[in-house]
Chain A
Amino acid sequence: MSEVLSLYVTGFLTYILPPVIVVSIVFFIGKWKAQGLAKQTSTAANAAGLHSRPPYHGAFLALVSFLPAVLVFLTWSIAEGPVIKGMVNNTLPASVTKLDQGKQDLITSVIGTIENGLNKLDQKELDLLKSASKGDQAAVPVEPETVRKLFESKNIILADNPEPYLLAAALKSRDLVQFSTYGKYIAFVLISIAAFLFAYSSIKLRLRARNGVETIIRWFLILASVIAIVTTFGIVFSVLFETINFFQIIPPSNFFFGTVWDPRFGWGATGGDGNFGQYGFLPLLWGTLYISIVALLVAVPIGLFSAIYMSEYAGPKLRSIAKPALEILAGIPTIVYGFFALVTVGPFFRDAGAVVGLEINASSVLTAGFVMGIMIIPFISSLSDDIINAVPQSLREGSLGLGSTKSETVTKVVLPAALPGLVGAVMLAASRAIGETMIVVLAAGIAAKLHMNPFDALTTITVKIVNQLTGDHEFGSPETLVAFALGLSLFVITLMLNVYALYIVRKYREQYD
């Protein structure tokens, strides 16, 4: 415990504190210089004093001094890996570079291992290896066997005796990394100093430090948003790309209009009978929709009625207790709902069915839909609660003032007014149900069928995605790639639902604002 603590403390002392101190010092240098300038001129009745207040000059100085250096440092750190790898690969003999990609990757990883080992050797051993690999005639030639033994003594296990060219490449790589690391730090220091001198000399009375700082802050925020957006698009495009790969093997019409889900091994070009089986999307879509509808049948009435109670009937005290309690449901991880369904609800329905003579599968549409419904109750109730609360109080008073009862007011005025928003809330909940995975994986079953029986098992898009990816399939095979096609379809469905729901919710908001 105390060791971990001391690790954090030393980490803080070496990596966090010094930069903070240096940056603060620079900040104050800027501030003081600006204050000094201001003082000199205040006596010389100069109408145009300091443009920006001194702290802005300090911030300006600190930002301009270190930002370029930090950017260079980061770019360098990102670029150095690939660059060094390229340089090392150039030193490999032609026999290696002709090999296929997989084997080359293997060699690169062996070089990496050797390089790691080198860092554990002491200087003498290192010199020995260095002289050997340079082919220095004067030195004692080192057998690959000896090298392996040497490494073994340092707990670095090599599969084979390393070829001399591997050792040479590892040594070269190590040198380059060291060189690059020094270079990186030196560049950081030099650029910082240069930028500091430049920025310091540019602190003048009329320097628009405030605008400069604002601009830098704005770019920083833009950068953060760009990163968020770019990653989203990156994910979508990579899924799209794999989906296109899938559709090159399985025609889209077989996927979108197929009614049978039966993926099979088929080796295609590399052998087998070339029969990949059938990838009909419809049974999965049906299962997804069916289970979601059951979930909504459970969640919408309960969620909506509890929201109406909370917002229209409950007193402030009850509301302050019951609302958070209901929202705790939303905090339960879905895997917990999943095994609740598997262990409790499924067997319960099965036994209950047996009592009345119904044959209910332990994993069934009913079980999965019911538990999923419970999961989305808090979602619907808290959204509906907000929407109902947004209906102006004056409408309620208008209705009550005409002598209508509370429930007349709710059903005739409040709910109609809130209806578009409530529809939006239900659709947001539906898109959650459609994308839900853990509950259906555990409770819905894996049978991709097209049937109406709520007591029988069905499967969903998400379940099949999990199945296809966790199986032991080759990555390029349609069996795996279909997961991307499924994922993309799911994404499109929920996206459309969400967009439409948000559109409705927003339109409704405008009515009162």
Chain B
Amino acid sequence: MVATHVVESKAPMLEQTNDLAEAETTNVEPAEKSTKITSEDVCVYYGEKQALFGIDLEIPENSVTSLIGPSGCGKSTYLRCINRMNDVIDICRVTGTIKIDGKDIYDPSLDVVELRARIGMVFQKPNPFPKSIYDNIAYGPRIHGLTSNKAELDELVENSLIKAGLWNEVKDRLSGPGTGLSGGQQQRLCIARAIATKPEVILMDEPCSALDPIATATIEELIDELRSNYTIVIVTHSMQQAARVSQRTAFFHLGKIIEEGETTQIFTNPQNEKTQDYITGRFG
């Protein structure tokens, strides 16, 4: 039963990745991309409890890296280390080094606020501000003074909403409350909000978990488009999605990275038995 399912679902999935690989080559990008984010021996503790054990990972620039793994394995925790969002949790402690563009982000002299402005994040649970839809998107640009007049801001808001595939649904109610949207719309609102600040890195924690297939396709298109200018890290529970959108994949299990490499390689020829089991749906 399981086996047949795997065979069925794997075939189109592989086609897809091959397509992507072809697309990549046609884009004429340098084969070896430079590393954007380097993690060395990252351990995270929530109070006494250790959630991540010595994570080493290199995330290349202008590409999509997906983090997969069973629930509770530490994907979100790792993602939140990259923009130091774990700082806001009192009991959370991070050791090891994470470097972005070669600079240690846990260096005391580093300005966290500036760091977070460069690294956008879409959270696992949609968290629109209790403000209007327009103000939700305009929040970041206003804080960072990205636009100089109202018309520019309007355009930025519109573009962000179009990219997130939400514009048609909300263009008549931009002054309506962001909290009044459906769960999936809220999720896309948060994506639009994150890209409106034009970050270098975008961290996405299960951005499509509340979306229908069409909205998911829109977001995946967006991710693919953003890839040429941004570094994207995405957490997902959908193997198909990881295969479709990402160039590299890291498989987390119980707070450790079990296997990491080219997405095509991870999905076609996993080196580790656990990875094999997980992507074929035998556990997780």
Chain A positions within 8 Å of B128 at CB level: 398
- Interface: A451 (CB within 8 A): no
- Interface: A331 (CB within 8 A): no
- Interface: A408 (CB within 8 A): yes
Chain B positions within 8 Å of A397 at CB level: 85, 88, 123, 127
Instruction: Say which residue of A394, A395, A398, A403 sits within 8 Å of B143 (CB atoms).
Output: A403
- Interface: B53 (CB within 8 A): no
Chain A positions within 8 Å of B66 at CB level: none
- Interface: A316 (CB within 8 A): yes
- Interface: B83 (CB within 8 A): yes
Cα distance A399–B83 when bound, in Å? 13
The B129-170 residues at the A interface (CB cut-off 8 A) are 129-131, 139-140, 143-144
- Interface: A376 (CB within 8 A): no
Tell me whether A402 and B143 are in contact in the complex, defined as CB-CB below 8 angstroms, given that A394-B127, A395-B127 are known contacts. yes
CB pair B127–A402 under 8 Å, yes or no, is no
Cα distance A316–B88 when bound, in Å? 12
Tell me whether A403 and B114 are in contact in the complex, defined as CB-CB below 8 angstroms, given that A396-B88, A397-B123 are known contacts. yes
Cα distance A397–B123 when bound, in Å? 9
The A399-420 residues at the B interface (CB cut-off 8 A) are 399-405, 408, 412-413, 416-417
CB pair A400–B129 under 8 Å, yes or no, is no
Chain A positions within 8 Å of B130 at CB level: 395, 416-417, 511
Cα distance A36–B144 when bound, in Å? 81
CB pair B123–A402 under 8 Å, yes or no, is no
- Interface: B242 (CB within 8 A): no
The B83-118 residues at the A interface (CB cut-off 8 A) are 83, 85, 88, 90, 113-118
Q: How large is the interface on B (under 10, 10 to 19, 20 to 34, 35 or more residues)?
A: 20 to 34
Instruction: Say which residue of B88, B125, B193 sits within 8 Å of A402 (CB atoms).
Output: B193
Cα distance A385–B123 when bound, in Å? 26
CB pair A412–B139 under 8 Å, yes or no, is yes
Cα distance A402–B125 when bound, in Å? 16
Q: How far is the CB of B204 from chain A (nearest CB, A)?
A: 12
Chain B positions within 8 Å of A511 at CB level: 130, 179
CB pair A403–B127 under 8 Å, yes or no, is no
Cα distance A46–B113 when bound, in Å? 75
0 or 1 for each of B173-211: is its CB under 8 Å from A? (1 = yes): 000000100000000001001100101000000000000
CB pair A404–B113 under 8 Å, yes or no, is yes
- Interface: A141 (CB within 8 A): no
- Interface: A392 (CB within 8 A): yes
Cα distance A404–B130 when bound, in Å? 16
Chain B positions within 8 Å of A316 at CB level: 90
CB pair B113–A405 under 8 Å, yes or no, is yes
Chain A positions within 8 Å of B179 at CB level: 511
The A349-404 residues at the B interface (CB cut-off 8 A) are 392-404
CB pair A403–B140 under 8 Å, yes or no, is yes
Instruction: Say which residue of A393, A402, A412 sits within 8 Å of B120 (CB atoms).
Output: A402
CB pair B85–A403 under 8 Å, yes or no, is no
Chain A positions within 8 Å of B143 at CB level: 402-404, 408, 412
Cα distance A329–B246 when bound, in Å? 58
Q: How far is the CB of A309 from chain B (nearest CB, A)?
A: 16
- Interface: A471 (CB within 8 A): no
The A413-455 residues at the B interface (CB cut-off 8 A) are 413, 416-417
Cα distance A403–B197 when bound, in Å? 9
Tell me whether A395 and B144 are in contact in the complex, defined as CB-CB below 8 angstroms, given that A402-B120, A403-B117 are known contacts. no
Closest to B193 in A: A402
- Interface: A315 (CB within 8 A): yes
Closest to B89 in A: A393
- Interface: B59 (CB within 8 A): no
Q: How far is the CB of B172 from chain A (nearest CB, A)?
A: 24
Q: How far is the CB of A420 from chain B (nearest CB, A)?
A: 10
Cα distance A397–B125 when bound, in Å? 11
7 tightest A-B contacts by CB?
Answer: A403-B117, A394-B127, A402-B140, A401-B121, A403-B116, A398-B127, A417-B130
Query: What are 26 A-B pairs with beta-carbon distances under 8 A?
Result: A316-B90, A393-B88, A394-B125, A395-B127, A395-B130, A396-B88, A397-B88, A397-B127, A398-B128, A398-B193, A399-B139, A400-B88, A400-B116, A401-B116, A401-B120, A402-B116, A402-B117, A402-B139, A402-B193, A403-B143, A403-B144, A408-B143, A412-B143, A416-B131, A417-B129, A511-B179
Give residues in A with beta carbon < 8 Å to B: 315-316, 392-405, 408, 412-413, 416-417, 511
Give residues in B with beta carbon < 8 Å to A: 83, 85, 88, 90, 113-118, 120-121, 123, 125, 127-131, 139-140, 143-144, 179, 190, 193-194, 197, 199
